[in-house]
Structure 1
Amino acid sequence: MAVLHRALVTWFLSLVFLILLVLRLDGRTRWNWFIVFIPMWILDSIMILYALVVMVSPCRSGDRWREVTANLTSVLAVLLKLAFQTCLCLHLQYPMAGLPLHAALAPLLVLLTGATVSLMRNLIQTHCN
């Protein structure tokens, strides 16, 4: 998929998600929170499939473990985002179920911590070279 197509799909699904979110928060609809997050789950599944396809191609042609580990990190980040979205939907849809907000935000905290560590490591490596 070309970069332009990926950008258009991302923008379109983000726009649909924001429209559904505004309709739900405004009180015009009483949809389930899982329905509101469907565009984000579609985007996440496309990202996982794309990362898996990109990860398999270097393995077929040769031994490039750096690219494979980078794609595995991307898949892990998307899986953490999916876990966060699921926990957030459970917290919002079923407030009496007892899922505290800090437990719903835990996957996001892990994701942001990992992204910060990765960014700092890349900055240090770039600065030292």
Structure 2
Amino acid sequence: MGFIQSMTISYNYRALFTWFTTVVFLILLCLRLEGKINWNYFLIFITFWFYDLILIIWVILELIKRHQHYRVIDSFKKYQYYIYGILLKICSQISICLKLDYNVFKLYIMMIPVWLLLVQLIIYVGLNLIPSKQSSSLVRQAHVTRLQPPSNSVAS
């Protein structure tokens, strides 16, 4: 099995797992909103807690794998947006559950982790849209070598 094909399979499984957890969450949420079950919202969010646990394990494994080749700080810098994103997602879920179950704080205070997560996502996407100098120079070099005619070894 080729590398590209195995990557496609793993992406398919990840997407399938994400959709499955989302569908289970939506089913539980609909049952709770319709009054069929009277569970705590922390239990309704159980599928997302499980998904977050898997994300945390993945980030830790990636940090350990990268630590073999780089310093700890370098691998943390590469995955800092993932770590902050997961932590903000967990904080958002906790604040939503606290608001829905216990009405602990006001709505605008509950939304602070969500807003911070959105700002962090905008920054992450914005930084990854700008090509790095090394990758742009490699693309430019490949473009220049493609435009040059092949050199003949026989001199005429």
Q: Report the TM-score when normalising by structure 2.
A: 0.71
Partner of 2:36 in structure 1? 28
Kindly indicate whether the alpha-carbon contact (under 8 Å) linking 1:88 and 1:104 is maintained by their aligned counterparts in 2. yes
Q: Which structure shows the higher helix fraction?
A: 1
Q: Cα deviation per residue 1:23-51 (whole Å; 9 max; x = unaligned)?
A: 11122211111110000010011011101
Give the deviation of 1:68 after TM superposition: 3.5
Deviates more, 1:86-95 or 1:69-78: 69-78
Aligned AA (1:58): R
Give the deviation of 1:72 after TM superposition: 2.4
Q: 2:26 aligns with which of 13, 18, 40?
A: 18
CA gap 1:66/1:4 in 2 versus in 1, 3 angstroms: farther
Partner of 2:123 in structure 1? 117
Question: What is the CA–CA distance in structure 2 between the aligned matches of 1:57 and 1:68, rounded to whole Å?
Answer: 12
Asked if residue 84 in structure 1 is aligned to residue 92 in structure 2, the reply is yes
Question: What is the CA–CA distance in structure 1 between the aligned matches of 2:10 and 2:132, rounded to whole Å?
Answer: 32
Partner of 2:4 in structure 1? none
Which 5+ residue runs of structure 1 have no aligned equivalent? none
- Relative contact order, CA 8 A, sep 6+: which one is greater? 1
Give the deviation of 1:119 after TM superposition: 2.1
The Cα RMSD (Å) is 2.3
SS at match of 1:28: coil
Aligned AA (2:91): A
Q: Report the TM-score when normalising by structure 1.
A: 0.85
Matches within 5 A, 1:1-129: 2-63=10-71, 67-95=75-103, 97=104, 99-123=105-129, 125-126=130-131
Question: Highest Rg: 1 or 2?
Answer: 2
Kindly indicate whether the alpha-carbon contact (under 8 Å) linking 2:81 and 2:120 is maintained by their aligned counterparts in 1. no
Percent identity over the alignment?
31
Give the deviation of 1:103 after TM superposition: 1.0
Aligned AA (1:75): I
Aligned AA (2:93): Q
SS at match of 1:126: coil
Give the deviation of 1:64 after TM superposition: 8.2
Question: What is the CA–CA distance in structure 1 between the aligned matches of 2:16 and 2:125, rounded to whole Å?
Answer: 26
